[in-house]
Amino acid sequence: MAMPVLATKLFIPRLRSRAVPRPRLVERLREGLHSGRKLTLISAPAGFGKTTLLSEWIADARRRDPQLRVAWLSLDEGDNDPSRFLTYLVGALQRADPALGSESLTLSPASIEPALTGLINDVAQSPAEIILVLDDFQLIEEKTIRDALVFFLDHLPSNLHLAVASRSDPLLPVARLRAGGELTELRAADLRFTPDEAAAFLSQMAGLELSPEDVAALESRTEGWIAGLQLAALSMRDRSDVSGFIRGFTGSNRFVIDYLAEEVLQRQPEQVREFLLRTAILDRLSGSLCEAVTGQAGGSDVLESLERDNLFLVPLDDGRQWYRYHHLFADVLRARLLRDRPDLVPTLHRRASEWHERNDLPEEAVTHALAAADFARAARVIEGSVPAVRKSRQDATLLRWLTLLPEEVIDRRPVLGVYRAWSSLVSGDVEAIEPRLRVAERALAATTDDGAPGHDSADSEELRTLPVTIAVYRAAAAQARGKVVGMKEHAERALALTQPDDHLGRGAAAGFLGLASWTTGDLESGLRAFGEVRSSLRLAGNLADVLATTIVLADMLVPLGRLREAQRAYEQALQLAAEQGDPPPQSTADLHVGISELLRERGELPAAAEHLAASEALGEQASSSEKRHRRFVAMARIRQTEGDFDAALDLLGTAEGLYRRGFFPEVRPIAAIRARIWIEQGRLAEALAWVTGQGLSVNEDLTYLREFGHITLARLLIAQQRADPRGSIQAATGLLDRLLVAAEAGGRTGSANEILILQALAQEAQGRIPSALPPLHRALSLAEPEGYLRLFADEGAPMTALLDAAADAGILPDYVRRLGRALRQTDVDRASLPGIPEALSERESHVLRLLATELSGPQIASELYVSLNTLRTHTRHIFAKLGVNSRPAAVTRAAELGLIQRRV
């Protein structure tokens, strides 16, 4: 069971019949919506009729456009949990259009943006025009949510209009929107009742017959504050001496609401007054809940009569089930309760907590238990709702609860104690984890004299598997500290402790075991461990994670040189995903990217590109945030193969922007791929700067995590040898020899293939073809059964020379012929690329960038400190190289070629 979604929060308040129509304000709101402004902001203190005005506007807008859809979300303090906020946001939007926010909407609490992006795309595709109302926005203080809403506003689809009502100005970019004409704004000065509206309210709505002087006096005393006028009207109802009341009220200095609430309450029968005070602690009221809290029968009847009497009771649904007090009125009642019956407050909260617990509303049960300072009860309810909270990923809620409980209460509950340790893991307080786990472990082991458990945790699945959880968190802590050995030991212990049917526990333990093996380059063990993870997840019915684990397995199969097995794994996973139908499970898009990379290696570039297109079409919901960059890396590799290096580098830039450090070791860093492209482009100085910055050297100890970087270094050294044959290749060959030993020791045939090829190229760079043939022969023999192609074919002219020599020597003739064909085809393809025949010099590139500006010729010359004549020479060369004969044509052509940024 996940945490319940309260329908009352999504209820669109109906327009009350007794509300004064406010055409002047509705007109302004309508105009704002009509002119396509992004945001409507109603910012004013409590009691100025914000919600009522929104209801009136919504009713009016729907009358004019029956197709218009409305999503309404009444916020509360609990919505500061990003997961909860997003759940309700999606829930509200689904009321407007059920197709919005697909099921695959999952999020990590740290990043709400990817989920929002999916939602924004959904909304943009919806045929409906939607108004999204966020009421009581002042309650949102969580920065991640505000940031997410700023992002939302910046990417707001044109068919969505956002309306925010708040008691204080929200931390949204209000000034920017105002300056850009994107904001419709109503403030207290706009919302106050005008004298005419006050008169209309008092006579027509409240049915009072007052003299113009009395109306003016009331309007002036309340300053048009609507809640004040409403309370005044209530105080005057059925009163014989209305003028006396008005004299008393207007002559008093007491604060309006204090004076009037007292008046209104005094005029209620004792029983009603007691009811109001006792139920004031409730944020939402139902008949049954009120009965439980007051101990009196007839709760629904009282609520209905309060609504009839207009006693600030707001219906929260159409069925007269749930109500709330107007916030202002509730505040007054609560202050009165604190003053008159402070002794009663804990009891009322405890009763409310009990009722909510009975009715499966754990959040409210906890809130009221905490308000009653009944920590034992709060802790019990929290512990019971841990599985549901975690399943709903409302981690922030759980963490907040834990901070509100006294330490000693948690100390006696090992289940909560372990989550307290987990909370330090989440917040990055690595040092606190172990002491907290020890406390939980001691509590778990404690027994009373008669052998009963010596702790307070109830017997539950969570409690029974707690030793496993503790060991898993220890493994996680070890990982956070970068202690691979410790991670492995704790993971092994966790695995040993699990019951055969504890699939999630087994999966988690095996996962850390696999990570340890992966990190150290023992990929065979890593495969075994993640194979176990995958079967455990499958047994636990967690399909999305089964698919994600397939990618992990393939990531290890590739360096092992088992491409065919990796491809089969991807194909099976895609089949499994397809069987799920719509919406496609998360990770489906990532599977397409994985299979695309394998197809590219096999030389099937069109098929590889098709899978990337399929991945893109599936959208971000079908991709996990830690994998999202990989599509762009895969596309960059295709562009690199095609010889379009600039496009490849651009794509890598995009990939870097999307990159999120996940759980898994980064064995193929984006920056290293970029350095390899630089090497291919001949930009050796830049590649060298990267290598130096990484501290990569030929003599250091080799680890698997740095293998890709070291191979990149070897490539750089060989390229330097070609550029300047006077140097020595010794450093490269020594490094490659050591890399080969390490790769073979780890059984990493895939890595070994590339290293062997580089050994051959290192010899070729010195013109020693015969010495190059033995490593090339080995690489060819290992690579042929797995269908490697681009590994050889991307190496260009030196590889052509080597393959010719291999053909002469009669080495694997079929495979060598096939590779040779692929190489020649690559040359043909690259020649037809719309490139420039001759590269621009650095000086010419600079001139070109200036040509794209508004600067005149003489200005450019002075900018460059050259004579006009010199500038003309540069310009002539540029025109010749670009095949154009005018400055505008040069700029256009340069932009097409990606040499300069196209100006917007």
Binding footprint of another protein on the chain (CB under 8 A): 45-48, 167-168, 225, 227, 252-258, 327-328, 331-332, 334-336, 338-339, 342
CB 264, CB 239: distance < 8 Å? no
Between 34 and 254, name the residue whose CB sits nearer to another protein: 254
Helix (H, G, I), strand (E, B) or coil at 662: coil
Between 258 and 896, name the residue whose CB sits nearer to another protein: 258
Q: Which residues share a beta bridge with 186?
A: 42
Q: Report, in Å, the least distance between residue 265 CB and another protein.
A: 12
CB 532, CB 494: distance < 8 Å? no
Q: Report, in Å, the least distance between residue 165 CB and another protein.
A: 14
Between 48 and 512, name the residue whose CB sits nearer to another protein: 48
Q: How many residues does the chain have?
A: 904
Q: Report, in Å, the least distance between residue 257 CB and another protein.
A: 6
Its sign, for the CA torsion 93, 98, 101, 106, is: positive
Nearest alpha carbon to residue 88 among 1, 172, 4:
4
Alpha-carbon distance values, 14 to 57, 275, 294 (Å): 11, 25, 28
Nearest alpha carbon to residue 842 among 807, 877, 812:
877
Q: Report, in Å, the least distance between residue 335 CB and another protein.
A: 4
Q: Report, in Å, the least distance between residue 653 CB and another protein.
A: 41
Between 136 and 462, name the residue whose CB sits nearer to another protein: 136
Between 265 and 807, name the residue whose CB sits nearer to another protein: 265
Q: Report, in Å, the least distance between residue 224 CB and another protein.
A: 12
Q: Report, in Å, the least distance between residue 286 CB and another protein.
A: 24
CA geometry: angle at 142 spanning 137 and 147, to 5°? 85
Strand order in the sheet with 39-43: 69-74, 130-135, 160-166, 39-43, 183-187
Alpha-carbon distance values, 420 to 505, 506, 653, 865 (Å): 19, 22, 39, 66
Helix (H, G, I), strand (E, B) or coil at 17: coil
Dihedrals phi, psi of 460, to nearest 5 degrees: -160, 170
Dihedrals phi, psi of 162, to nearest 5 degrees: -105, 130
Q: How many CA atoms lie within 13 A of 472 on its CB side?
A: 19
Dihedrals phi, psi of 770, to nearest 5 degrees: -60, -40
Q: Report, in Å, the least distance between residue 861 CB and another protein.
A: 58
CB 818, CB 790: distance < 8 Å? no
Look up residue 394 and give its two tokens: 């409302």
CB 421, CB 437: distance < 8 Å? yes
Q: Report, in Å, the least distance between residue 231 CB and another protein.
A: 11
Between 47 and 170, name the residue whose CB sits nearer to another protein: 47
Between 314 and 717, name the residue whose CB sits nearer to another protein: 314
CA geometry: angle at 745 spanning 739 and 746, to 5°? 95
Q: Report, in Å, the least distance between residue 841 CB and another protein.
A: 59
Q: State the alpha helices, DSSP H only, in 23-81.
A: 23-34, 50-64
Q: Which residues share a beta bridge with 130?
A: 69, 160
CA geometry: angle at 785 spanning 779 and 786, to 5°? 85
Q: Report, in Å, the least distance between residue 204 CB and another protein.
A: 24
**885 burial level (CB within 10 Å; 0-12, 13-18, 19+):** exposed
Distance CA 286, CA 388 (A): 24
Between 326 and 660, name the residue whose CB sits nearer to another protein: 326
Between 257 and 302, name the residue whose CB sits nearer to another protein: 257
Between 197 and 601, name the residue whose CB sits nearer to another protein: 197
Between 253 and 266, name the residue whose CB sits nearer to another protein: 253
Q: Position 462: which residue type?
A: E
Helix (H, G, I), strand (E, B) or coil at 727: coil
Q: Report, in Å, the least distance between residue 8 CB and another protein.
A: 21
Q: Report, in Å, the least distance between residue 679 CB and another protein.
A: 54
Alpha-carbon distance values, 220 to 224, 250, 704 (Å): 7, 9, 79
Q: Report, in Å, the least distance between residue 189 CB and another protein.
A: 13
